[in-house]
């Protein structure tokens, strides 16, 4: 049976002498593994389709639940990501999150669109790579049923004080008095998350918040999924704060 689907390459693995195994992320098929033959040869016509982050229409032959790429029509290579190590690791972190939060034969339109938009943003030199990744991670959490509630600013009429806590069970910020369990969270973390979510925020209170926001999201994701998210950790180590 032949299957056509839009997909992006999340991961590649060498297989046999000239073949590869691809982890593809499709908005309609979810996360699938597909073999692609002969792509390690110098003259391979489908070499482009086996590159990390390739976004293409893939034509797959399906037999016994196994997929093989027979042809592909590229939409975008996102080649710029391979020229900057920090942006490359940001893209790897986003791909890692997609791998861990998706399954085969499920639909992921929102997560897929968020991932493609993240890759586009990371290719733009004027965009902040940390903020681009945080924006995507907030989308990924929402689409996966683990949204972070950033409404505390409205609840307290704009006066959040200087002692915030984050409840890892409920995924929400609150004052110490209103949080039954959780950990201390900085005000800069909160305003950085609101900025990346497209909500009202105080720019003067985002200083140093990007790394803190990423660390909080990593801890929250790890708790919910029992996964270490090593690429996300490496990106956090790479970025410099202003």
Helix 209-225 crosses helix 230-238 at what angle (to 10 degrees)? Answer: 170
pLDDT of residue 177: 63
Reduce the DSSP state of residue 43 to 3 states and report it: coil
DSSP letter, residue 162? S
Length of the chain: 242
Q: Answer yes or no: pTM beyond 0.85.
A: yes
Residue 188's Cβ-side half-sphere holds a number of Cα atoms within 13 Å equal to: 12
If one counts every other C-beta atom within 10 angstroms of the C-beta of residue 164, the result is 20
pLDDT of residue 242: 43
pLDDT of residue 224: 95
Distance CA 97, CA 135 (A): 13
Could you read off the pLDDT tens digit of each residue along the chain, which spans 242 residues?
899 999 999 999 999 889 999 999 999 999 999 999 999 998 999 999 999 999 999 999 999 889 999 999 999 999 999 999 999 999 999 999 999 999 999 999 999 999 999 999 999 988 999 999 999 999 999 999 999 999 988 888 777 877 789 999 999 998 766 666 678 899 999 999 999 999 999 999 999 999 999 999 999 999 999 999 999 999 999 997 54
pLDDT of residue 154: 86
pLDDT of residue 219: 96
Contacts of 16 (CB under 8 A, 6+ apart): none
pLDDT of residue 161: 75
Distance CA 103, CA 175 (A): 36
């Amino acid at each position: 049976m032949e299957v056509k689907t839009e997909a992006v390459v999340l991961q590649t693995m060498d297989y046999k002498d000239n073949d590869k195994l691809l982890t593809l992320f499709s908005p309609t098929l979810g996360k699938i593994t597909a073999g692609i033959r002969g792509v390690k040869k110098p003259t391979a016509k489908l070499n482009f389709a086996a590159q990390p982050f390739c976004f293409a229409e893939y034509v797959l032959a399906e037999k016994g639940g196994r997929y093989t790429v027979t042809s592909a029509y590229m939409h975008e290579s996102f080649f710029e990501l391979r020229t900057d190590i920090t942006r490359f690791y940001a893209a790897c972190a986003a791909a890692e999150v997609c791998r861990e939060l998706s399954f085969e034969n499920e639909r992921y339109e929102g997560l897929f669109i968020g991932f493609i938009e993240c890759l586009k943003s990371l290719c733009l030199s004027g965009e902040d790579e940390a903020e681009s990744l945080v924006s995507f991670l907030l989308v990924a959490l929402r689409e996966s049923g683990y949204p972070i509630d950033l409404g505390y600013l409205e609840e307290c009429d704009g006066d959040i004080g200087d002692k915030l806590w984050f409840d890892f069970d409920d995924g929400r910020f609150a004052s110490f008095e209103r949080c039954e369990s959780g950990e201390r969270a900085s005000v800069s973390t909160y305003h950085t998350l609101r900025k990346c979510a497209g909500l009202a925020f105080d720019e003067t209170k985002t200083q140093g918040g990007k790394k803190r926001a990423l660390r909080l999201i990593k801890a929250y994701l790890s708790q919910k999924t029992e996964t270490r998210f090593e690429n996300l950790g490496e990106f956090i180590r790479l970025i410099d704060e202003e």
